[in-house]
Chain A
Amino acid sequence: MGISVEGVRKQFGDFVALNDVSIEVPDGALTALLGPSGSGKSTLLRVIAGLEQPDGGRVVISDRDATRDPVQDRGVGFVFQHYAAFKHMTVRDNIAFGLSIRKRPKKEIEQRVQDLVRLVHLDGFTDRYPSQLSGGQRQRMALARALAVEPKVLLLDEPFGALDANVRKELRVWLRRLHDEVHVTTIFVTHDQEEAMDVAEQIVVMNDGQIEQSGAPRDLYDHPQTEFVMGFVGPVNRRGAMFIRPHDLEILTAPALEAEEAMIERIVHLGFEARVELLLADGEQLWAQMTLAEAELKELADGQIVYARPRRAKVFEPNGESRTEELAAA
């Protein structure tokens, strides 16, 4: 049940939301569409679902050209950021909705609802109304509702965006486990790189209506192909044409080759990590990341003059190529 998007274009008035976008989503994969607001990721998801019609291009779902199919016929399960719960129906009726309009026998519906309720840990809540549930519970209900009709594809539009930070983290873990159990091809949209890196097997990074890069989380982090991807997927320092990850910025207490003089403005302690904020001679600011142990070992302190040197850096050529510069350890 793989999905293939080929050359899709979509415009809203003057605004180009999707500019010749193509992606491949393998059968059973858990894929994230990651990007800032306005990158087109939600639009792409809705085009795949059939909630928007593209101006050009094709959407192929399990080897069938579904571009002109109405959403009802695509077999997609869709989960919305704000749940879209049927607020006038109980949890049970919400989950049963898809089955009930397909006129399945009552016993079958009831059984399926029970199975799903157990799956999403909403046991005992079946007679409640959405207004009586917390945000996290509503979203779990929405997921159960979408899964009830056994969709070929599960699409989630910033599913945890409206929830508190800790509920978000819980549901992330839960989504991964759910995918392990249910194995349906899943695509979710997020602007949170941590969430994408945590949950997805494959990430598609989007910006300005186009695909910047797609691949496994590790690949994107270690081998970003553009400035944008590197900066979006993790923290980055920029020094001239070099892009340096904070944990690749080495701090030395004595001058060395390739190392620049800098003053420590502030050392921030974040749990077991230390974040060392540096001010260079020409006024530019960088920051380095190291373990607390390391910082203590080097006896770093505010106001100290040190020497900063990148262990690795990426340089992005104007022609689209990139290379990694690695400096040999002393």
Chain B
Amino acid sequence: MTPAPGARAEAPPRPVTFPRLGGAALGRGLVTAYLSVIVLIPIAALVAKSTEGGLAEFWDSLTSPLAISALKLTLIASVIVTLINVVAGTAIAWVLVRDSFPGKRIVNSVIDLPFALPTVVAGITLLALYGTDSPVGINVAFTRAGVVMALLFVTLPFVVRAVQPVLLELDREMEEAAASLGAGPLTTFRRVILPNLTPAILAGAALAFARAIGEFGSLVLLSGNLPKTQVASLFIFAQIESGNTTGAAAVSVTLLVIALVVLLLIGRLTHWSLRHAR
């Protein structure tokens, strides 16, 4: 059916939240300006500085022995920490959602503490119990174990908080159906519950990993100034202090790219595994 001459198709209703005249465009402009000043231009300056001396110098900065050891330590520690978080975080989320015991509400609130606490305080907190003056004789100061422990502390909330809401929303009837078909609790967990938790676990793991590779404050006291416990962020800081900003920028850009790649990858994975939700 062709529209009558002179008739116009009705446009969808204009969102009214902005002033009529080009309001949305103004909004977009302001938002872009804010983001540029705060985030984008600084990052651009960083990338520019890192490639200032050409790609050759970039590569040199990246492959200095100290830089390599820092990056290696960072990545390995972060992967270990992420894996531990996947297991511990899922277990904690499970206990918080499915179990009940006195003080559960308090425990639930406490999970976010690493998020609210300044990172340097996190470092001191761990050192108080597991440092040189440890009342229980465990001293992880200046050790790689200490680095892992600090990273576990600051990344604790991510997997837990990602999994909790999904677990809460999980259709219990699916589990009942599996049970009625003869599946024991473990089989039900493995074949029915876990597959539905995977996207959330991945999302939480990605955030935990991105956080871990960039962590600084909690490690600044714990790792001393030893090369063997110097993660990438500490290396960058040291380079800045000694004036080698190009080297610092090179490693910084590398860290940034790694984090972005991981976030992107996991984002795709999550999207793919959600394809038959609902």
Contact = CB atoms under 8 A, between A and B. Distances in A.
Direct A/B contact, Cβ within 8 angstroms: yes
Nearest to B196: A88
A72 interface: yes
Given A71-B180, A98-B182, A87 B173 contact: no
A12 to B, nearest CB: 16
Nearest to B187: A101
Contacts of A316: none
Contact of B182 (A80, A85, A88, A102): A102
Interface residues of B, number: 20
B174 interface: yes
Given A71-B176, A84-B174, A86-B174, A98 B195 contact: no
B174, B177, B184 pick with most chain A CB within 10 angstroms: B177
B23 to A, nearest CB: 38
A49 interface: yes
A80 B181 contact: no
B183 interface: yes
Contacts of B277: 87, 131
Given A86-B192, A131-B277, A131-B278, A98 B181 contact: yes
B97 interface: no
Given A51-B176, A84-B174, A84-B176, A72 B196 contact: no
A88 B173 CA distance: 14
Interface in A275-324: none
7 contacts: A72-B184, A80-B177, A87-B174, A88-B196, A97-B191, A98-B182, A129-B276
Given A71-B180, A86-B178, 18 more contacts: A51-B176, A51-B180, A72-B179, A72-B183, A72-B184, A76-B180, A82-B173, A84-B176, A86-B174, A87-B196, A88-B195, A97-B181, A98-B181, A98-B182, A101-B181, A101-B191, A102-B182, A131-B278
Interface of A: 49, 51, 70-72, 76-78, 80, 82, 84-88, 97-98, 101-102, 129-132, 142, 145-146, 148-149
Interface of B: 171, 173-174, 176-184, 187, 191-192, 195-196, 276-278
